[in-house]
Amino acid sequence: MDALSTVLYPINRAGWPFIAIFAVVTIIFFAIWAPLGWIGLILTLWCIYFFRDPPRTVPMRKGLMVSPADGRVTMIVPAVPPPELGMGLDPMLRVSIFLNVFNVHVNRVPIEGTVVKSAYHPGKFLSASMDKASDVNERAAVRLKMTDGREIAFVQIAGLVARRIITTLKDGQEVRTGARYGLIRFGSRLDIYLPRDAEPLVIVGQTAVGGETILADFASAEPARTGLRD
């Protein structure tokens, strides 16, 4: 049961309508032709797997920023935050995390603070792995003031097959590190804009775990990390 609880249970409630649809279609497929039914059953199990929402152990020391999503770190580059957040034109350090269809898609708040602004921007559905997806794809962006007064931003970006971004954060809301706040269906990317003086503690190619992997430590002078593929 412990293994099951970390892989398939619990299920995020946003997934139940889809799981129900897949299950009904599977029953119909079995009634039409058994091989179709087995295909439907496999797709239903995949849908359950996609919407899994396993518990995470969130490091809570002051100053720690955790990854807001499961996935692979694809870029760490200077970039201007989304204009709808009103954070100016000066580049910040952007960490991009790409989520494939097999990753957990529940998103978590990277660090405690107060939501300054939450904004939705309609757009295209290009591959979320592309650099320009940050600018042209559909997105939901959040501007957050940390407890030390500095600000960050984190942005849910739709991908090729994603057609719905869910976010629950509101302007003025106080949030804690690692709290669930949204979900993207299906396949997507999450960008995090760090303060200009931050040193990232992840590297390109690294697999991040939402709510657990530390992206930055604002209470430490540790330099940015490098990596060696082995």
**7-18 pLDDT per residue, tens:** 556 888 877 888
Q: What local confidence, expressed as pLDDT, does residue 149 receive?
A: 95
Helix (H) or strand (E) holding 134: helix 133-136
Indicate whether 170 pLDDT > 90.
yes
Query: From the candidates 5, 129, 188, 220, which is the catalytic residue?
Result: 188
Indicate whether 52 pLDDT > 80.
yes
Question: Once rounded to an integer, what is the mean pLDDT over residues 163-174?
Answer: 90
Question: Once rounded to an integer, what is the mean pLDDT over residues 177-196?
Answer: 89
**Alpha-carbon distance values, 199 to 14, 88, 155, 225 (Å):** 35, 21, 19, 8
Q: Is 96 labeled as catalytic in the residue annotation?
A: no
Token duo for residue 174: 């106080």
Note whether 200 and 218 are within 8 A (CB): no
Note whether 26 and 38 are within 8 A (CB): no
Strand ranges for the chain from DSSP E: 64-66, 71-79, 92-99, 106-108, 113-121, 139-146, 151-158, 164-167, 174-175, 180-185, 188-194, 207-208, 214-217
For domain 64-217, which architecture applies? Distorted Sandwich (2.70)
Residue 173, CA atoms < 13 Å, CB-side half-sphere: 14
Indicate whether 164 pLDDT > 80.
no
Indicate whether 181 pLDDT > 90.
yes
Indicate whether 1 pLDDT > 60.
no
Mean pLDDT of the chain: 89
End-to-end CA distance of the chain: give it in Å, rounded.
34
Q: Domain coordinates of the chain in residue numbers? A: 2-50, 64-217
Sequence-separated (6 or more) residues with CB below 8 Å from residue 141 = 81, 82, 84, 85, 118, 119, 120, 121, 153, 154, 155, 156
Question: Once rounded to an integer, what is the mean pLDDT over residues 207-221?
Answer: 94
For the entire predicted model, the pTM comes to 0.87
**Alpha-carbon distance values, 114 to 49, 84, 152, 157, 186 (Å):** 32, 17, 11, 21, 28
Of residues 186, 174, 22, the one with CA closest to residue 104 = 186
Question: Once rounded to an integer, what is the mean pLDDT over residues 73-92?
Answer: 96
